[in-house]
Structure 1
Amino acid sequence: MKVAFEYGHGLIEATLPEDTDVFIPGETVKDPDYIPEDRIEEETLKSLRNPMGMEPLSSLGKKGSKVTIIFPDRVKGGEQETSHRKVSIKLILKELYAAGVEKKDILLICSNGLHRKNTKEEIYGVLGEELFNEFWYDNQIINHDSEDYEHLIDLGKTSQGDPVIMNKYVYDADIAILIGHAQGNPYGGYSGGYKHCSTGITHWRSIASHHVPQVMHRSDFTPVNSHSLMRRKFDEIGQHMEEKMNKKFFCCDAVLDSKSRQIAIYSGYAGEMQKASWQIADERTYVPYAKEKYDVMIFGMPQFFHYGDGMGTNPIMMMQAISAQVVRHKRVMKDNCVIICASTCDGNFHEDLWPYTREMYDLFQKYGNTLPDINRFGEYFATNEEYIRKYRYANAFHPFHGFSMISSAHIAEMNTAAIYIVGGQAPGFARGMGMKTRNTIEEALTDAKKKFVGQNPKILALPKTFKSSAVHLGMISGIEDK
C-alpha cells in the first residue's frame, strides 16, 4: 500500500506492506460527538453558571473586583470562531459585567510560561477580533513574563520541596480565571486544570521541579497517564498557589476533539473539575486499538507544528517530537520497536525561536553519550542574560525550555531499538542526536528488518500525527493505567 506522510512543507510517499495498520486521529476511530456550533454558547454558559466546588462568577464578582483571565498560547486549542478561548472568555466577561465588575479592572494574560511570547498577530488569532480590539489597545492583554521579577512573587516551596514562583498579577487579583483544554498531552495526561497554572504562569525554577530527567525518565511517566509524579507535582504546585493566594482558581476547561472542537465543558475548582473532565476526555484520548504490539512505527514531520516553524528540522526539537509519540503510544510498541520518521532535517536550527539549541547540540557532541549527560548545564543556560533577553523581547523560547525538551527527547532512545530519520537534507545532524539515517522510508524499513525486527514486522503508520490533536493508543483489550 502507498501511504503519504508529512514532510517539510509537503508530503513524502512510501510503499508499505499491505498488512500495515494506518491510524489517523479522529478518522480511524471516530471521536465522541462534538457540541454543535449553535449550542456551544449555551453549553459553555451552563457550565460557567454551575461550577464544581465553588460559587459562580456572578457571586464571586462585584464592582471593584480585580480579575485576571489566563488563556493558553497558540500551541493549544484552535483558532476557529467557535474555539473554546473565544467563546468562553466572551461569556465570562458578560457574567462579570453583570455582577458589577468594570472593564478597567480586567487583565487578560497569555499563559506562555517558558514558551515564546505570542506576537500581536498571534494574540489576535487566538482571541479573535472582538476581544482583541476590546482589550489590546488599552494594554489589558499581556504575555506572562517569567523573567519579570517586578511582577512575580515567590511563594516558597510545596510540601515536597518544589519552588513556587508565580505571576503577581494573578496572585493580586480577586478572581483568577483559567481557560484551559482537557486535551491529550504527553506531559502528565492532559492540558488544563492545574497543569495550566503550574507551567503557564510560573518561573523556570518551578518548571525545573518537574520537566527534568528525575521526573520524566521514571517508569510512571511512559506511557502517558494521569497519575505520574509529574501530574502530582502539577496538582501540588497549583494547590500551593491557591493556599497562598487564599482563593481558588476558577477554571473553565473544554474537552476537545481531533479538530479542537468542544466535546464537553467543565467549570469550577480544579481539584474537582479536572478529574470530571478527564472521564469524558479519556473516551476521546485513550484509544484501545492494537490487536498486537508493533515492531515498527512510521510517521513524518512537517516543518511547522506545535511549538513553531522549524520544529520539524531543529534536531533537538525533532527528537522531542519523536519522544512525544513514544510517550503517547508506548502501550502498543514492542520493547525493541523501531521508529522511522521522515524529516527534511536541513541543519536549520531556526535560531530566532530557539537561539540556544545550537549551543546545546554542540555541547552534546562534546560531552554527551546520552542526552541526560548535558542536563547539568541547565542552570547555566537558564541564567544566560542574552538568551533571556531574546525570550523577553524577541519572541524566543526561554533557554530552560530547551532542557525540558532534552529531558523529553531522551525518552525515545530509552524505549526503542533504533530511530531512523529519512529524507534528511543534512542528515549528519540527526546522526549527531544518535539517530540512524536513510534516504527513504523503504530503505530504513529494509535495514530495520535486517538488524532489529525480522522480515515480517508488525507496522503502524501514523500519517497526520502532528496535524491533528493526537490520541494515546492502547491495546484493543483495554487501557487500565490511564
Structure 2
Amino acid sequence: MKHFEFEYGFGTLGADLPDDTDEFIPGITVKDPDYIPEDKLEEAYKESLANPIGMPTLTELAHKGSTVTFIVPDRVKGGEQATSHRKLSIKYMLEELYAAGVESKDVMFIISNGLHRRSKESDARAIFGDEIFNKFWHTGQIISHDSEDKDHMVDLGYTKRGDPVAISKYVYDCDIPILIGHVQGNPYGGYSGGYKHSATGITNWRCIGSHHVPSVMHRPDFTPVNNGSLMRHKFDEISMHMEEKMGHPFFCCDAVLDSVSRQIAIFSGYAKIMMPESWKVADKRTYVHWAEKKYDVLVFGMPQNFHYGEGMGTNPIMFMQALSAQVLRFKRVMSDKCVILCSSTCNGYFHDELWPYLRELYEMFQTDNMNILPDLNRYGEYFATNEEYIRKYRFCNAFHPFHGFSMMSCGHIAEMNTSAIYMIGAQEPGYARSMGLKTRATFEEALEDAKKKFVGTNPNILALPLTFKRSAVHLCMKDPSLDEMDEYGHHIGDNR
C-alpha cells in the first residue's frame, strides 16, 4: 500500500491506497515551464511595456492631464510576494506614466472584486505593498469595486447577444483604463486575465448573471473547462462592448504564472490580440498531457480555508463548488464511472459573516421542489435584491448575494459528471448527505464501498495531494489525439 496525506481542515488526513495508485501534484509531477528569475523581472516588464501587442505604448497614450485607472485583481489569486505581478506591473507602468507627464493625483486604483467581498485595508496593503499603499490609500485613490453603488456605475445597454452590461464609472470616465491580470487556468470559462477580468471584476450582478448561471454553465461546451465555451464568448463580447462604449480599449498587462505565482511570461497590449498569444505560453503549464489512462477514482482533500476564504471547505454550497471545479479541470482523464473521495471536516461552519446568505440558500435546498441545485436558480433575483445582504456586501466585506448562484450553478457539475462523491471524515456528516454526497470515516472504507457499487475490484486511482494549495492545471491525456480541439486550438476533451 502507498500512504498519502490529504488536506483536512487545518491539517491532513491519512490514506493507505493500493500500490498502483498514481499521483499528480501541479508543478511537481510535471515541472512548470521556467519562470523569469527575479533579477530579470524588471527587464521583462520593461520589454513588454515597450512593445505592447496591438496598441501604442503607455508613453504614447499618456500626457500631462491624462487620468488613469488601474484595475487590479483581488486576493483570490496572483500571489502577494514582493515580486508579485500586481506589485511590479504597477511599479513599472507608473514610471512610464510619470515620464509622460501624468501626475500622481490623476491616478486611481480600483480592486476589481466584482461580486467577491470588497477588500479591507489589510487586503489592499497585501495586494499593493507598502510603498504604493502608503502613497495612494490615505488620499482615497485605492478603492474596492462596489457593484451596488448606483452613483458610480454606468449602464452601457446590451451586447448584440442581448446581455446587459454595466461598468464602474471610475473606469468609464478615465482616459487610460489599465487591466492587470493573471493568465491562470480558471474553471469558469478558461483563463483568467484579459477580457474575463473586465467582464467579471468591474460590473454588476445583472451582467454577471448573464453567464454565471445554469443555462451557460451546464451546457456541454462548459465541461471540461476550455476557452471555446459560450461563457468565454460572453466574456469577450461584454468586454469589447465596454471598450466600444468607452471609445478606446483597455491597456492590458497580464502575466502567465506558475504553480506558486511566479511570472513565466509578461504580455501587454490590446486584449483581443494579446490574449491568444498569452494563452499559447499558458497552455504549456495549464493543459498538462500526462495521463496514460482514464481514472475511476479521484482522491483529494479539502482544507477549511482556501481560495474564497475561511470556511470554503466546510460551507455546503462552497464545498460543492470546490468539488465541481476539480471535475471541470480533470474531466478529460475521468472515466464514465468515476467517483471522488474527498476529505473535509464538514463541521457545519458556514462563515456567516463572509457568506451571510448561504445558510438561507442551503436551507431552501432542503425543502420541497428542490431536488437538484439548479432548482434554486429561480431565486437568484430574490437574493440579489435583498437589501440586508446588499448592505453586508457594501459595508461588511461579505460576498454579494448573487455570488452564491454562480457557486450553486457550478456545484451541480460534480453531480452531473460522477457516479458518486464520498466525503471523508465529516464531523457533521448530515451537511454532506443533504448535498447528495456519501459519507465514510476513512478513505479506505470509502474506497471499498465504491469498489462494490461503482468501479469494480481493480479501479484506476489518481491521488491529488495539495490540489487546493497550488495553482491548478487542466489535466489531459498524454496522447493529444484523444482530445478534441476548440476553435483556439486548445485540447478540450470530450464535451458530450
Is TM-score (shorter-chain normalized) higher than 0.5? Answer: yes
Amino acid at match of 2:143: I
Query: Residue 154 of structure 1 corresponds to which residue in structure 2?
Result: 155
Q: Distance in 1 between matches of 2:47 and 2:458?
A: 53
Paired residue total: 482
Q: Distance in 1 between matches of 2:127 and 2:53?
A: 26
Q: Distance in 1 between matches of 2:225 and 2:195?
A: 17
* Alignment pair present for 1:369 and 2:371: yes
* Alignment pair present for 1:27 and 2:32: no
Q: What is the SS of the residue equivalent to 2:137?
A: helix
Query: Residue 81 of structure 1 corresponds to which residue in structure 2?
Result: 82
Q: Distance in 2 between matches of 1:289 and 1:17?
A: 20
Q: What is the SS of the residue equivalent to 1:197?
A: helix
User: What is the correspondence of 1:45-194 to structure 2 with a 5 Å cutoff?
Assistant: 45-194=46-195
Q: Distance in 1 between matches of 2:174 and 2:81?
A: 29
Q: Distance in 2 between matches of 1:98 and 1:335?
A: 58
Q: Distance in 2 between matches of 1:118 and 1:49?
A: 32
Give the direction of change, closer, same or farther, for the CA distance of 1:470–1:440 in structure 2 (3 Å limit).
same
Amino acid at match of 2:23: V
Query: Residue 405 of structure 1 corresponds to which residue in structure 2?
Result: 407
* Alignment pair present for 1:477 and 2:459: no
Q: Which consecutive aligned stretches of 4+ in structure 1 deviate over 3 angstroms post-superposition? A: none
Deviation at 1:118, TM superposition (A): 1.3
Q: What is the SS of the residue equivalent to 1:138?
A: coil
Encode CA deviations 1:361-407: one digit per residue, 9 max, x unaligned.
01111031000011000000000000000000000000000000000
Query: Residue 494 of structure 2 corresponds to which residue in structure 1?
Result: none
* Alignment pair present for 1:389 and 2:352: no
Query: Residue 280 of structure 2 corresponds to which residue in structure 1?
Result: 279
Encode CA deviations 1:329-369: one digit per residue, 9 max, x unaligned.
10000111000110000011100100000100011110310
* Alignment pair present for 1:305 and 2:314: no
Q: What is the SS of the residue equivalent to 1:137?
A: coil
Query: Residue 270 of structure 1 corresponds to which residue in structure 2?
Result: 271
Deviation at 1:480, TM superposition (A): 4.2
Encode CA deviations 1:49-82: one digit per residue, 9 max, x unaligned.
1101110000111111110000000001000110
* Alignment pair present for 1:462 and 2:464: yes
Q: Distance in 1 between matches of 2:128 and 2:8?
A: 30
Q: Distance in 2 between matches of 1:89 and 1:18?
A: 49
Structure 2: runs of 5 or more not aligned: 491-496
Query: Residue 2 of structure 1 corresponds to which residue in structure 2?
Result: 3
Encode CA deviations 1:288-342: one digit per residue, 9 max, x unaligned.
1111100000100111100001101001000000000000010000111000110
Q: What is the SS of the residue equivalent to 1:360?
A: helix
Q: Distance in 2 between matches of 1:421 and 1:389?
A: 34
Q: Distance in 1 between matches of 2:459 and 2:424?
A: 19
Q: Distance in 1 between matches of 2:396 and 2:370?
A: 30
Q: What is the SS of the residue equivalent to 2:65?
A: coil
Deviation at 1:11, TM superposition (A): 0.7
Q: Distance in 2 between matches of 1:289 and 1:3?
A: 20
Query: Residue 236 of structure 1 corresponds to which residue in structure 2?
Result: 237
2:417 to 399, 415, 418: 415
Q: TM-score scaled by structure 2?
A: 0.97
Q: Distance in 2 between matches of 1:168 and 1:118?
A: 18
Q: Distance in 1 between matches of 2:344 and 2:83?
A: 33
Q: What is the SS of the residue equivalent to 1:328?
A: helix
Query: Residue 426 of structure 1 corresponds to which residue in structure 2?
Result: 428
Query: Residue 247 of structure 1 corresponds to which residue in structure 2?
Result: 248
Query: Residue 13 of structure 1 corresponds to which residue in structure 2?
Result: 14
Encode CA deviations 1:424-455: one digit per residue, 9 max, x unaligned.
11010011111111111111111100100001
Structure 1: runs of 5 or more not aligned: none
Deviation at 1:140, TM superposition (A): 0.5
Query: Residue 217 of structure 2 corresponds to which residue in structure 1?
Result: 216
Amino acid at match of 2:468: F
Q: Distance in 1 between matches of 2:306 and 2:204?
A: 25
Q: Distance in 1 between matches of 2:430 and 2:337?
A: 24
Q: Distance in 1 between matches of 2:267 and 2:100?
A: 21
Deviation at 1:40, TM superposition (A): 0.7
Encode CA deviations 1:81-139: one digit per residue, 9 max, x unaligned.
10000000000100000000000000000000000011111111111111111110111
Q: What is the SS of the residue equivalent to 2:264?
A: strand
Q: Distance in 2 between matches of 1:188 and 1:283?
A: 18
Q: Distance in 1 between matches of 2:7 and 2:77?
A: 20
Q: What is the SS of the residue equivalent to 1:335?
A: strand
Deviation at 1:45, TM superposition (A): 1.2
* Alignment pair present for 1:198 and 2:223: no
Q: What is the SS of the residue equivalent to 2:366?
A: helix
Q: Distance in 2 between matches of 1:438 and 1:74?
A: 34
Amino acid at match of 2:136: F
Q: Distance in 2 between matches of 1:354 and 1:447?
A: 34
Q: What is the SS of the residue equivalent to 1:7?
A: strand
Encode CA deviations 1:134-178: one digit per residue, 9 max, x unaligned.
110111000000000100000000000000011011000000000
Q: What is the SS of the residue equivalent to 1:279?
A: helix
Q: Distance in 1 between matches of 2:470 and 2:408?
A: 24
Amino acid at match of 1:441: F
Q: Distance in 1 between matches of 2:290 and 2:344?
A: 26
Q: Distance in 1 between matches of 2:69 and 2:484?
A: 38
Q: What is the SS of the residue equivalent to 2:356?
A: coil
Amino acid at match of 2:286: T
Q: Distance in 2 between matches of 1:256 and 1:16?
A: 32
Q: Distance in 1 between matches of 2:320 and 2:27?
A: 25
